[in-house]
Structure 1
Amino acid sequence: MGIILTNFAPESFWIQIGSSPSQFSDLTISHFLTANLIPVTLGNIVGGTVLVGLTNWVIYRRPQLRSVAVAQLEIKTNPYSAITNNVNISSLVEDVMDPTPITLRADTPVPIALDALLENKLTIAPVCDANDHLIGFFSTHDVMVDLWCEDYKIGIQQKVVDLMSHEVLSVQAKDRLLNVAERFCIDKEQLFPANEAGVATQLNTMSVEERAKTMKASVPHTLAVLEGNTFVGIIDRHAVMKALRPIYGKPIIVTKPHNQRSA
């Protein structure tokens, strides 16, 4: 617009606005091309290319193998837990954990990893890097979620690193077994909701037993076991329950009666 006015506006226009065309002598087509059109166009092209490239990188990039921060599951000692003589109250996690679990590599193809789980009747397994450092967990749940997302169609060949969970909860090998058992099923923050000052934040007419039976503790069925920061095994609900089974006494042998044919 400035170029048009400078070159084609009548003298009366300049008298009316109190100016002269010489004040806008730099508004030329060559200046417009070199100082505006070309730089802006190049900027849009480069900026758009970078934006599209970054967007595609974020959406379609392959997951990178990385170390994970293993969250330590908070285990609180409860000296008032009901204990029977049939269970060793001094049992530790290391006494019942699996010290040699089946582990997977991050670069293992998903079908091979899934076969390893199914053949060993497992639903989850730890994933370790080449130095046997724990970097995540791979589970049948991860596979089922991916199959649902892909409408149960086989796409690109995926590896364990593409589906595994990088969020890992762990306990220490020297933690008391009974405290870990409690943490598997009881969430103290749900059972006794209170703020940092210890003041109850919710009022509930249900008894402690009723609240405990209706709550859902958000703890995985399998936990990593660490000794310091070193991965030494896993512990799951089955192992804990097997250790607690003696509370009920000796195993009961149930025999099925033989069907007798009437004369």
Structure 2
Amino acid sequence: MLAKITVADYMSKRLVTLTKDTEIIDAVNKLLDHKITSAPVVDQVGRLLGMFSEKDVMSIVLETAYNQSMGGKVGDYMTKEIISVDGESSIVDLAEKFQQTSVRSFPVFEDNELVGIVSRTDVLRALASIH
């Protein structure tokens, strides 16, 4: 039953995105305001350039502690090596992928287009739905 559930069934389709030129404090506030752990960083045509996550913010916190100032743009700190998933992948395959990495959410693609984001919480919701 669980193997028949796809990523597309539980992914978030309402994307909160950032650009590489977004100021760090604005990006942090956006993550907090939307209660999300990461956001895709896209260019002017919506093409994925990277991901900006809580983990990236930890680097900024450490740098701020040592330098006594916080500045910069998302493009300076975002993760550029993207691990993505296909919307038609099974939620079981996704769970396995989450187990192999510390990443808490993945961008979702269908036909080479960014269509959503899926998190560990989405896997929990899928599991709960079968009971």
Same fold (TM over 0.5): yes
3-state SS of 1:117 partner: helix
Q: Does 1:111 align with 2:31?
A: no
The Cα shift of 1:233 comes to 0.8
Show the counterpart of 1:162. Answer: 76
Aligned residue type for 1:245: A
Residue 123 of structure 1 aligns with an amino acid whose one-letter code is T
Partner residue in 2 for 1:145: 59
Count of residue pairs brought into register by the alignment: 130
- Cα shift readout 1:73-103 (whole Å, capped 9, x = no counterpart): xxxxxxxxxxxxxx45422111111112211
Does structure 2 conserve the Cα–Cα contact (< 8 Å) formed by 1:147 and 1:153?
Answer: no
Mapped partners of 1:141, 1:112: distance in 2: 16
Deviations 1:103-135 (A, max 9, x none): 111111111111111112222111111100011
1:112 partner amino acid = D
Aligned pair partner of 1:94 in 3, 8, 26:
8
Shift of 1:164: 0.7
Q: Is the Cα contact below 8 Å between 1:92 and 1:176 reproduced in 2?
A: yes
CA RMSD of superposed structures (Å) = 1.7
Q: Is the 8 A contact 1:137 1:165 kept in 2?
A: yes
Superposed displacement of residue 229, structure 1: 1.6
The separation in 2 between residues aligned to 1:184 and 1:94, in whole angstroms, is 16
Q: Is the 8 A contact 1:128 1:135 kept in 2?
A: yes
Partner of 2:94, secondary structure, is helix
Unaligned runs of 5+ in 1: 1-86, 186-216, 250-263
1:238 aligns with 2:109: no
Q: Structure 1 segments of 4 or more deviating over 4 A?
A: none
Per-residue CA deviations over 1:134-181 (Å, capped at 9, x if unaligned) read: 1101122212212313416215x4111111110110111111122212
Which has the larger displacement, 176-185 or 93-102? 176-185
Q: Deviations over 1:52-73 (max 9, x none)?
A: xxxxxxxxxxxxxxxxxxxxxx
Paired letter, 1:230 = E
Higher RCO, 1 vs 2 (CA within 8 Å, ≥6 residues apart) = 2
- Confirm or deny that 1:223 pairs with 2:100: no
Give the 3-state SS of the residue equivalent to 1:105 in structure 2.
coil
Between Structure 1 and Structure 2, whose CA radius of gyration is higher?
1
Q: Which has the higher strand share?
A: 2
The code of the aligned residue for 1:154 comes to S
- CA change 1:104–1:179 in 2 (3 A) is same
Partners in 2 of 1:148 and 1:104 — Cα distance? Answer: 22
The sequence identity of aligned pairs, in percent, is: 34
In the alignment, which of 34, 47, 50 is matched to residue 120 of structure 1? 34
Alpha-carbon distance in structure 1 between the residues aligned to 2:31 and 2:37: 6
Q: TM-score, normalised by structure 1?
A: 0.46
Give 2:32's aligned amino acid. Answer: L
